[in-house]
Amino acid sequence: MLKSLFVYGVLGVMLIPVKSHLMTVCMEEDEELRVDCQIENKPNKINTYQFSWSIEARQEIINTNVSGQSANEKFKGKSRVEELEPVGYRMTLSDFRDKLSDNTTFLCKISDQDANISVKKDNILSCSAVSLLLKNSWSWMVCLLLFFYHTHS
């Protein structure tokens, strides 16, 4: 009983950060910003994406394919969007590293669902570190599942 409470406790703690991480921001080796948005598209909605940022209280659209919306002129040709597997979109932005403020909020909207993340200019992880972190949390998951399986068999 205590054991399973412990397992559920640990699982709960681990699932919270996983759930809230709909967005990640990292810096690629060539100094491009990579923003991943992993919101699941609702099957009965029009499939659209929109990436923007909020900087000094101004919200500016970086890339979008929502009809009637268009990106801010200064981002034209500087960003691209690709689909992520299994869900979501990845936006890559070049030449704007130095334009980030101390607190830049990135927002994304996929089929009318929103997410946002605030980053500090000097605290952006490199993308290789992020993939290492993700890999690590996966190995934790596997250990945990094995543990779970073990204590219940």
**Pick from 111, 153, 114, 148: nearest CA to 14:** 148
Q: Is 111 in the site for ligand NAG (CB under 6 A)?
A: no
Q: Is 126 in the site for ligand NAG (CB under 6 A)?
A: no
Give Cα separations from 73 to 55, 64, 77, 134, 140 (angstroms): 16, 12, 9, 34, 44
Among 4, 47, 101, 151, binds ligand NAG (CB under 6 A): 47
- The span from the first CA to the last CA of the chain, in angstroms, equals 14
CA distance 21 to 24: 7
**Pick from 138, 120, 139, 137: nearest CA to 27:** 120
Residue 38 C-beta: closest distance to ligand NAG, Å: 14
**Choice between 2 and 57, CB closer to ligand NAG:** 57
Q: Is 151 in the site for ligand NAG (CB under 6 A)?
A: no
Residue 71 C-beta: closest distance to ligand NAG, Å: 13
**Choice between 54 and 72, CB closer to ligand NAG:** 54
Q: Is 116 in the site for ligand NAG (CB under 6 A)?
A: yes
Q: Is the preceding omega at residue 86 within 30 degrees of 0, hence cis?
A: yes
Give contact residues for ligand NAG (rule: CB under 6 A). 46-48, 54, 65, 67, 83, 103, 105, 107, 114, 116, 118
